[in-house]
Amino acid sequence: MENLLLVTAPESCVVHGTVSLPASKSISNRVLIIKALCGKDFRVSNLSEAEDTLVLARALESLGISKDIDAGHTGTAMRFLTSFLATQRGTFYLTGSERMKERPIGPLVNALQQMGADIEYQGKRGYPPLKIKGKRLKGGSVEVDASTSSQFISSLLLIAPALSEGLMLTLNGTPVSSSYIKMTLGLMSRFGIETRWEQNVISVSPGTYKPQNITIEPDWSGASYFFETLLLAYEGEISFPLLSRKSLQGDAVIWQWFEHLGIKTVFSEEGALIKKSGGHPEFVSFDFRENPDLAQTMALAFAGRGIQAVFRGLETLPLKETDRIKALQAELNKTGYILAPLDEGIWQLRKTAWPLLPARITFHTHHDHRMAMACAPLALAKGQISIKDPDVVVKSFPGFWENMKAIGFDLVYKPRE
């Protein structure tokens, strides 16, 4: 059974303190693949301790020992390893959790097969698990469906320098989360690889990654839950050591979004400081196509603050760790809000017709780390809430609850039911 965590808001709903953000798992995961392909060692400082990164690191370390690789719940590991293993000598069996076996990987496999990769489905076509016979791939001109996951594209780009003919990747459809593709290209450039992105074609020249020591920057996605917290608080200030405006992460846009909601960000050499600077609008409109991982943060923040909204760019949410649309709808209903389709690709976040809500809300995480973290600040709106399965935060932010305590929240675990 699942643990239950009672989350009580700080006295007078005032939050103050310092948050130690985890290292970016998105950057960490890409650097791990680059290091594995580099052939020469280099130092990686502040590598993420998130479960996603640990799973990928363990898989890469085990290649000389075992050919059976389990990516668990980790979509990044599944996708990055699919391409990486296709270039490595040997036969590998790549699987994952039951949920992972429901998440499509067909567009990535199709693109790799265009290069001559030897990959077979071991279950339902288009989904893990996979049997991969690795070999040297030529590359060249390849097409990929870009409308499902940016990780398919990043996975192909990361191995591109090792292809004898490099890669000319044509993106079919409108790319989703293109900020993550830009992150991948930025890191590849930092490690000495020439890339070019013109219209819907990305070109990568063959080459070798150049070893270079790197320090992984703090995670902007993790910071978003504390921007949400300050929005829901009566007043306060939160500091983030080493968090920089100059970031490879697309989710750094969060500080600009919250400026329109009355949260000011001040950057310095030490990091970033956020504080209340004004009021907020009653209605907003957001497009999450570039930043789908911020959708839960914003939806639950608005529900707690009494803001109604129109959302776009939620197409990839049903394909995540859980169906995030259904998960959001279920948990928002407990706050007196609904997320309803308004038109094709457009969703409306609005108050429900019934105002009677339970005195204490128990939020379910749906086995999704981002649901847990986005629900937690709502203690400020209700005084106290409960969260089932709070430990899912280890997937991306193992120290999340310790940081919530550091800014004034009271946390009490109840034994498993």
159: closest CA among 129, 173, 132, 138? Answer: 138
374: closest CA among 311, 302, 326? Answer: 302
pLDDT of residue 357: 61
- The pTM score is 0.91
- Whether residues 247 and 187 share a domain: the answer is no
Which class for 46: exposed (0-12), middle (13-18), buried (19 or more C-beta within 10 A)? middle
- Whether residues 167 and 205 share a domain: the answer is yes
- Whether residues 259 and 205 share a domain: the answer is no
Q: Which runs of consecutive H residues, i.e. helices, occur in 170-219?
A: 178-190
Question: Contact 363/334 with Cβ under 8 angstroms?
Answer: yes
* Residue partners of 399: CB distance under 8 A and separation at least 6: 20, 22
Look up the CATH number of the domain holding residue 243. Answer: 3.65.10.10
End-to-end CA distance of the chain: 6
pLDDT of residue 358: 67
- Whether residues 156 and 242 share a domain: the answer is no
Last residue of a domain, one of 215, 234, 261: 215
Q: Range of 259's domain?
A: 4-22+218-414
26: closest CA among 259, 156, 199, 218? Answer: 218
Split the chain (417 residues) into runs of 10 and give each run's mean pLDDT. 88 95 97 96 95 94 88 92 96 93 93 95 95 94 88 96 95 87 96 95 96 97 98 96 95 96 97 93 94 95 95 87 91 93 91 68 94 97 93 94 97 77
Please tell me whether the peptide bond between 129 and the residue prior to it is cis, using omega within 30 degrees of 0.
Answer: yes
Q: CA-CA distance, 239 to 305, in Å (whole number)?
A: 22
- Whether residues 184 and 265 share a domain: the answer is no
- CA 324 vs CA 83, 295, 370: distances in Å: 26, 9, 9
pLDDT of residue 141: 94
- Whether residues 226 and 165 share a domain: the answer is no
Looking at the structure of the chain, the number of domains it has is: 2
228: closest CA among 352, 379, 408? Answer: 379
pLDDT of residue 405: 97
pLDDT of residue 38: 95
Q: Which residues are catalytic?
A: 293
Structure tokens at 401: 């609850």
pLDDT of residue 355: 54
* Residue partners of 359: CB distance under 8 A and separation at least 6: none
- Whether residues 185 and 267 share a domain: the answer is no
